Chains A and B, each alone.
Chain A
Amino acid sequence: MLPSWGTATSEAGGGVCAAASHRPPQSVSPTAPPGREHPRRRGGRGGASALVLATLLTFAASGAALAVNPEEQLPNPQQEARARAITRELRCVVCQSQTIDDSSAPVAQALRKLVRDRIVAGDSDRQVVAAVTARYGDFVLLKPRFDGSTSILWLGPFAVLGLGAAGAFVYVRRQGGVAEEPAPLTDAERAALAETLQA
């Protein structure tokens, strides 16, 4: 019989963001509780080399973990669906690019419980997220808030599109202006053409 996730990984001394167990310790934002660190598994490896070919791990965001446990689910399907939707937009603070919905780290589990407790207590979605960010900061939001420094994230793409389209339009108009319509044939040309066609 194989050990369970929790025991296996803690015996191995590795992290539980499965793929992250191959990565160096992840720092946690100062406002967050210390969370679980991921000690390096293999003694002989240096920092960056412990990053197992990350191109291979390109997609290793979640690493074969089963995140949400059946016991965590809320009995009310509507509330559970809301909880899933919210936890899919919150980041697991000790993992690399994993939502708390995907992650099996204890911190993620605690956050999932917090979200569900708030929902059961009757909070709106907005209040639930506010309760989480009050403890863990904006770092947990996978959809960053719009503010001074993140405005480039929200406006940039559309600004690039607008400026690019405007620039392209000006360029296209300018270079094409010369050849808009071919000038009509002069009388001499018309005569030469008629002569050629008749010949």
Chain B
Amino acid sequence: MIVELGHYALVLAFLIAIVQAGAGLWGGHTRNPHAISLAGPAAVTLAGLAALAFGALTWAHVSSDFSVQNVFQNSNSALPLIYRIAGVWGNHEGSMLLWIVTLSILGGLVAVLDRNLPPTLRARVLGVQAIIIGAFVGFALFTSNPFTRLSPTPLDGQDLNPLLQDPGLAFHPPFLYLGFVGFSVAFSFGVAALLEGRVDPAWARWVRPWTLGAWTSLTLGIGMGAAWAYYVLGWGGFWSWDPVENGSLMPWLAGTALLHSAAVIEKRDTLKAWTILMSITAFSTSVLSTFVVRSGLLTSVHAFANDPRRGLLLLAICLVMTGGALLLYALRAHTLKAGGAFQVVSRESSLVLNNVLLSAILFTVAIGTFWPIVAEVAFGQRISVGGPYYVRTAVPLAALLALFMSIGAQLPWKRGDWRAALKRLRVAAAVTLVAAAASFWLSGQSKALSAVGVAMGVWIVAGAVADIALRVQFGRVSPGALWRRAVHLPRSAGGGALAHAGLGVCVLGMVGTTLWASEKLTVMRPGERMQIAGYTLVFDSIDPRTADNFQADTASFTVLRGDRQITVLHPERRWFPIAQTLTTQAANRLTPMGDLYLVVGDPRGDDNQSHVVRAYVHPLVGLIWLGVLIMVGGGGVSLSDGRYRIGAPVRRLKPAPASLAAAE
């Protein structure tokens, strides 16, 4: 009954989306007040209905209602509660429903929070948002209905993919989707602005919290996915340039570009057409990556043919949305008038350069992801594009970006002096050179790459630290004044510097774990020991244990540094009988300097006591996730800037004292 209510809510949501799209767009166009006033309540209702549908599916999963096909295929009565919940989005149909509910709730929030938007703009934003929601609800209803019932009801479910049974992964998709879908608001604002024929600093301020929220969430989602890959997949890698990973990186790159170019509109009222293009790109790449993942196109061209209905419908949604927006862009972008002029050396120019570099990286990732399909279909040539390609193309471009990002942040708006900027960064530059020289000297392998990589990371971090130090006039004012200046620092500026620093920390982690890792692979009997990177590992024992829905062989290793015992690690091999899948559960010991990572593999020999053991030491790997957290924190700090708070009432500004105004 509850499942049918959810299904019914989804059908109703589809109809309401059509009404909202019509009312919003037609109302915005004709300025009909009745139509305009319809869009807001429709958006809120839509959000409620989508939440109801999602709740119904969640209830079916939690209560293990195996008469629902989706639950039967992706759950099991022995599954712990958290994975019964995560199983809701751990499959195609459920993940589309998660996508829809996130999209609808954001639409509802726009309606509730952005009340002070000009009525026609608001109506149009909600209208465009409703088109997107309607398209995906339609897709779910007609090709991927999560509420399909089975008869007769099976006794038990087929279990959730054991690889997905991990607490870190349970919350990876919601954050990733919040990021993808969050860019839909920027997209809707972009298209609505093209319809209105008007983009100004106020527009940039309205879009900013949505873009920033989406970016922050996507950053966290990608970081969680990388963490999951690192400790669940058992090979110690965090990124493999898989098409699906690239699919999440593309919107991130476009969203980062959008954040930076929107700042130019906000402060200087220029770079409008480009920013609109980026707002279209950010969401289009999100939809594109969903299409690619959902259709199976990238798994193989042949998998696509297995269910062409889904693939083709998604492709149509993708083309109509992106194509429609770009067509509108081509027709209307020239009507957007540029405002403030700026010189070649200026903050504006550096942000243009940032966008050029990010676009080049985006192009690289996109061409690398899609060209194999084109080459196969058009030239009959089967090629592969993987890590070794991106390392030689995207990574050098990223190094250029790293070089310029710290300098750009020191250039003033309108007109700057690059010599003055470099002079302000002289301490940062000195620190960077010392760090690069030290890593060249100390690293046993890939000396030149180590030096370049460390220089990149340290330069970004040092540039961000210098930025804050200069803003609070560190070293020039008394500690008390320093504190006051730090507290009153605009949060958007502090958040930006923090995000930059986070990226630098992340780069250092990637450099350390990619270039300096140690690895040992051997067969060990209980009682034997091995040495790796200063650690001694003693294989104590391996014993069976039984959990709710799997059986495991748990090994015990004592870790020594010299003669001192540091810790005991318990890597496992797990057998999931329902899913008939064997997984390995790595054990690790993370310290700021690096991570000792231990996997136990197949038994060897007749008595099954000897096992394949693989040990890694990944220096600095923790910095990757520390960096992600700092970036997320930067996004959060920036988001908390009162001047941009969503729905902040328009206040009359108090006249600022002269001293404060000068300090700003």
Q: How far is the CA of A143 from the CA of B238 in the complex (A)?
A: 20
Contact of B383 with A61 in the complex, beta carbons under 8 Å: no
Chain B: CB-nearest residue to A13: B580
A194 at the interface (CB under 8 A from B): no
Chain B nearest Cβ from A169, distance in angstroms: 8
Instruction: Indicate if B89 sits at the interface (CB-CB under 8 A).
Output: yes
- Across the interface, do A27 and B91 meet the contact criterion of CB distance under 8 Å? no
User: Hey, which chain B residues are within 8 Å of A23, CB to CB?
Assistant: 299, 303
Determine how close the nearest CB of chain A comes to the CB of B260; give it in whole angstroms: 13
A51→B293 contact, CB < 8 A: yes
List of B residues within 8 angstroms of A2 by Cβ: 544, 551-553, 573, 575, 582
Task: Verify if A168 is at the interface (C-beta below 8 Å from B).
Answer: yes
Which of B90, B173, B364, B582 meets A5, CB within 8 Å? B582
- Complex CA–CA separation, A150 to B367 (angstroms): 10
Quick one: CB contact mask for A44-59 with B, threshold 8 Å, 1 for yes? 1111110111111111
**Which residues does chain B contribute within 8 Å of A75, judged by CB atoms?**
none
Q: Which of A12-36 contact B (CB under 8 A)?
A: 12, 14, 18-19, 21-27, 29
Rounded to whole angstroms, the CA-CA distance of A26 and B302 in the bound complex is 8
| B478 interface hit (Cβ, 8 Å) | no
| A185 CB within 8 Å of chain B | no
What B residues does A188 contact at CB under 8 A?
Answer: none
Given contacts A59-B242, A168-B352, A66 and B601 within 8 Å (CB-CB): yes
CA distance A89 to B387 in the complex (A): 8
Output the nearest chain B residue to A138 by Cβ-Cβ distance.
Answer: B383
Give the shortest distance, in Å, between B69 (CB) and chain A (any CB): 8
Does A121 lie at the interface of the complex (its beta carbon under 8 Å from any beta carbon of B)?
A: no
Residue A79, interface by CB 8 Å: no
* Per-residue interface assignment for chain A, residues 145 to 156, with 1 indicating a CB less than 8 Å from any chain B CB and 0 otherwise: 000011011101
Which of A18, A47, A61 contacts B242, CB < 8 Å?
A61
- Closest Cβ neighbor of B584 among chain A residues: A64
B164, A53: Cβ atoms closer than 8 Å? yes
Cβ contacts under 8 Å, A4 to chain B: 602-603
Known A23-B299, A67-B235: A48·B307 in contact at CB below 8 Å: yes
Size of A's binding interface in residues, CB under 8 A: 88
Contact of B90 among A56, A69, A137, A142 (CB under 8 A): A56
Chain B: CB-nearest residue to A9: B582
Partner of A27, one of B74, B302, B384: B302
User: Cβ of A142 and Cβ of B385 under 8 Å apart?
Assistant: yes
Chain A residue numbers with a CB within 8 Å of B296 are: 24, 47-48, 51
C-alpha spacing A153/B447, complex, angstroms: 28
Contact yes or no, A63 B233, CB < 8 A: yes
The reply to whether the CB of A187 lies closer than 8 angstroms to some CB of chain B is no
Q: Is B117 located at the chain interface by the 8 A CB criterion?
A: no
Interface status of B263 (Cβ within 8 A of chain A): no
B305: chain A residues within 8 A (beta carbon): 47
Cβ contacts under 8 Å, A184 to chain B: none
Q: Which residue of A lies closest to B604 (CB)?
A: A70
CB pair B344–A53 under 8 Å, yes or no, is no
- Asked if A76 is an interface residue, CB under 8 A from chain B, the answer is no
Q: Are B397 and A24 in contact (CB under 8 A)?
A: no
Which chain A residues border B386 with CB–CB below 8 Å? Answer: 89, 91, 97, 99, 142-143
The number of chain B residues touching the other chain, given as a range, is: 35 or more
User: What residue of chain A has the Cβ atom nearest to residue B236's Cβ?
Assistant: A62
B382 contacts which chain A residues (CB < 8 A)?
A: 29, 137-139
Contact B602 A66 (CB under 8 A): yes
B275-283, B353-361, B418-426, B651-659: which lies at the interface: B353-361
Which of A2, A8, A168, A169: most chain B CB closer than 10 A?
A2
Within 8 A of A (CB), among B67-83: 69, 72-74
- B240 contacts A97, C-beta separation under 8 Å: yes
Residues of chain B within 8 A (CB-CB) of A5 are 582, 601-602
Which residues from 68 to 82 on chain A have a C-beta closer than 8 Å to any C-beta of chain B?
A: 68-70, 73
Scan B282-298; emit 1 where CB is below 8 A from any A CB, else 0.
00000000000111101
Residue A180 CB within 8 A of the other chain: yes
Q: What chain B residues lie within 8 Å of A180 (beta carbons)? A: 343
- Residues in A neighbouring B163, C-beta threshold 8 A: 18-19, 56-57, 60, 63-64
Choice from A12, A139, A172 contacting B344 with Cβ under 8 Å: A172
B599 touches A66 (CB 8 A): yes
Interface string of A118-162 (1 = CB under 8 A from B): 000000000000000000011111111000011011101110110
User: Are the CB atoms of B303 and A48 closer together than 8 Å?
Assistant: yes
- A179 within 8 Å of B (CB atoms): yes
What is the CB-to-nearest-CB distance from B618 to chain A, in angstroms, rounded to a whole number? 16
Residue of A11, A89, A98, A176 contacting most chain B CB atoms (<10 Å): A176
Question: Is A178 an interface position by the 8 A CB rule?
Answer: yes
**Hey, which chain B residues are within 8 Å of A70, CB to CB?**
521-523, 612
Write out, one digit per residue, whether chain A residues 171-198 have a CB within 8 A of any chain B CB (1) or not (0).
Answer: 1110110111000000000000000000
In addition to A3-B575, A55-B177, A66-B612, 13 A-B residue pairs with Cβ atoms within 8 Å of each other are A24-B306, A45-B73, A51-B92, A53-B90, A56-B169, A58-B247, A61-B233, A97-B240, A102-B240, A144-B384, A157-B367, A164-B360, A176-B342
Offer 15 A-B interface pairs, CB within 8 angstroms, sorted by A.
A26-B299, A48-B310, A51-B296, A55-B95, A59-B228, A59-B245, A61-B240, A64-B232, A65-B584, A144-B383, A150-B375, A153-B368, A153-B371, A160-B363, A168-B353
- A-side residues, CB < 8 A to B, are 1-6, 8-9, 11-12, 14, 18-19, 21-27, 29, 41-42, 44-49, 51-70, 73, 88-89, 91, 96-99, 102, 137-144, 149-150, 152-154, 156-158, 160-161, 164-165, 168-169, 171-173, 175-176, 178-180
A-B residue pairs, 9 tightest by C-beta: A47-B306, A59-B229, A142-B386, A143-B388, A12-B580, A179-B341, A66-B601, A164-B356, A157-B364
Query: Could you list which residues of chain B lie within 8 angstroms of chain A, going by C-beta atoms?
Result: 69, 72-74, 89-95, 144, 158, 161, 163-164, 169, 172-173, 176-177, 225-226, 228-229, 232-235, 237-245, 247-248, 270, 293-296, 298-307, 310-311, 338, 341-344, 346, 348-349, 352-353, 355-357, 359-361, 363-364, 367-368, 371, 375, 378-379, 381-389, 392-394, 397, 400, 521-523, 544, 551-553, 573, 575, 579-584, 599, 601-603, 608, 612, 614
